[in-house]
Structure 1
Amino acid sequence: MTTVTGNSSVVDNLSITKRQETKRNSNELGQAAFLELMIAQMNNQNPLSPQDNTEFVAQLAQFSSVEGLERLNKSFNSFMSNNALQASSLVGRSVSVESDKSTLYSGGIVAGSVTLDYATTDTQMRIYDANGALVQTIPVGELPSGESVFRWDGQNIEINGNLLDWEAGDDAAAAGQYRFEVTATQNGKSEAIATSLSANVNSVTIGDNGELILNLAGIGAVEASKVKQFN
């Protein structure tokens, strides 16, 4: 009877070679080398004393799991890179988010909107400066149900594309931050109406969950999903 010898040496040499190749190659090549190593051991084992390959099979399952995780990480990193590229294009732009504060820049405008559940014949807008002093009280009057958009340049106000005919005064408001308060009579009761106002995007970050976070002038950090309009 022929005795199979040198099995341990053959497997050890193959193991050293495959470990070196694994360091040089990707995980996918490492898995292929691992399969070759397992087959080499099976081919060179003593037929009278076969080795238990349970550990090899368990390690092969770990290879598959690690490979799947690496592919998932690559896909996620690609997604994050695309998000970062898109985010960089938002810096310096103006967006509208739900807020009662906005910044008026010299020669610029504040864009905003309100949404009414019902049409109203009595809508008032009050604008306060950063110190809380009342700057203007604007009798907006009638507004339809749904969304109405407005633009304020520090003096005159345009609503739904129409310049409001009222006495705005001679002096325009100075550049700075302002707070807007809108009330409307609906169903016989005066109610405060939420406003959405424009703000410049100072910078953009990406949250842990991949969500874009916009850092808005005068407002702070706001999730991109909360943006109502890109101006």
Structure 2
Amino acid sequence: MIDTAAYLNDVNKRDLPKTPKKELDRDAFLKLFVTQLNNQDPMSPMQDKEQLAQLAQFSSLERLTAISKSMDGLTQTVNAVIGVTATGYIGKNIMAKGYSVAKKGDDVSSASINLPASCKSVFVDVFDKKGALIRSVDMGPRNAGQFDFKWDGMDKDKKKAADNEYRIVVRAETATGKKVLADIEVSGKVKALTNSGGQSFLELEDGRKVLLSNVTRVVA
């Protein structure tokens, strides 16, 4: 006696449609091309131009696949080398392109500001994480070049600001009133190396993070 339930289950399994592939891969392309040749109308065969166009597409697909595999391997190798190299920053003081400074107690991290032109007025504005202006420091007139900046940790009411991470923005103008865009570097001691979103970051002892690619120098 046939087990009806088992039989129907077997039929259902055999009749289930296979999940279609989202992309036309190499094997599927070849099968489709051969099938197309076998089933073409003898009275109206596929033109040479059509065959060449399809074969050109296949050739491009093969080259792109090979390039993709090569790039994946190269990316893995580069990331491994970067990881090994970046560990050498741990425990060292670095300067990196950025805008953040950290305050903890009386200790505030320093920054270096580089002006591309001489300016009659230079202000360094300090903002908290919410974007509120905490302090505006008047640096006076400055010649073109680099100078160090270290916020004293006081707010505009001459009170100690809370321990936290802050952002600095430079406002500078020349004698003719032309606004000048300054380059800013921030400092810190590296504690660890982290990776996020395919990018490498250096984690500083005060909790800030800087892109590894933004590091400009190691300082004593």
2:36 aligned residue: none
For residue 175 of structure 1, report the CA deviation from its aligned partner: 1.2
In the alignment, structure 1 segments of 5+ residues that lack a partner are 1-79, 157-167, 207-211
For residue 111 of structure 1, report the CA deviation from its aligned partner: 0.8
Residues in 1 aligned to 2:154 and 2:107: alpha-carbon distance in whole angstroms? 11
2:139 aligned residue: 140
**3-state SS of 2:150 partner:** strand
Q: Indicate the RMSD between aligned Cα atoms, in angstroms.
A: 3.4
Is 2:171 the counterpart of 1:171?
no
For residue 127 of structure 1, report the CA deviation from its aligned partner: 0.3
Q: Is the 8 A contact 1:101 1:219 kept in 2?
A: no
Q: Is the 8 A contact 2:101 2:108 kept in 1?
A: no
2:202 aligned residue: 214
Amino acid of the structure 2 residue aligned with 1:184: A
Q: Is the 8 A contact 2:94 2:190 kept in 1?
A: yes
Q: Against the structure 1 CA distance between its residues 99 and 149, is the aligned structure 2 distance closer, same or farther, given a 3 Å change threshold? A: same
Instruction: Trace 1:22-101 onto structure 2 (pairs within 5 A).
Output: 84=84, 90-101=89-100
Amino acid of the structure 1 residue aligned with 2:117: Y
For residue 93 of structure 1, report the CA deviation from its aligned partner: 3.9
**3-state SS of 2:208 partner:** coil
**3-state SS of 1:227 partner:** strand
Residues in 2 aligned to 1:205 and 1:124: alpha-carbon distance in whole angstroms? 34
1:36 aligned residue: none
1:108 aligned residue: 107
In the alignment, structure 2 segments of 5+ residues that lack a partner are 1-80
**Could you state the TM-score of these two structures normalised by the residue count of structure 2?**
0.51
2:186 aligned residue: 197
Q: Is the 8 A contact 1:103 1:110 kept in 2?
A: yes
Count residues with an aligned counterpart: 136
For residue 105 of structure 1, report the CA deviation from its aligned partner: 2.1
Residues in 2 aligned to 1:229 and 1:155: alpha-carbon distance in whole angstroms? 28
For residue 91 of structure 1, report the CA deviation from its aligned partner: 2.7
Residues in 1 aligned to 2:162 and 2:91: alpha-carbon distance in whole angstroms? 22
Residues in 2 aligned to 1:213 and 1:126: alpha-carbon distance in whole angstroms? 26
Residues in 1 aligned to 2:212 and 2:165: alpha-carbon distance in whole angstroms? 18
Residues in 1 aligned to 2:116 and 2:210: alpha-carbon distance in whole angstroms? 29
Q: Over residues 118-145 of structure 1, what are the superposed CA-to-partner deviations in whole Å (9 max), with x where a residue is unaligned?
A: 2112111110011111100111111111
Larger Rg: 1
Q: Over residues 152-196 of structure 1, what are the superposed CA-to-partner deviations in whole Å (9 max), with x where a residue is unaligned?
A: 23139xxxxxxxxxxx64312221010000011135312342311
**Could you state the TM-score of these two structures normalised by the residue count of structure 1?**
0.48
Amino acid of the structure 1 residue aligned with 2:209: I
2:122 aligned residue: 123
Residues in 2 aligned to 1:92 and 1:175: alpha-carbon distance in whole angstroms? 23
1:26 aligned residue: none
Amino acid of the structure 1 residue aligned with 2:193: V
Is 2:183 the counterpart of 1:184?
no
**3-state SS of 1:103 partner:** strand
**3-state SS of 1:228 partner:** strand
Aligned sequence identity (%): 20
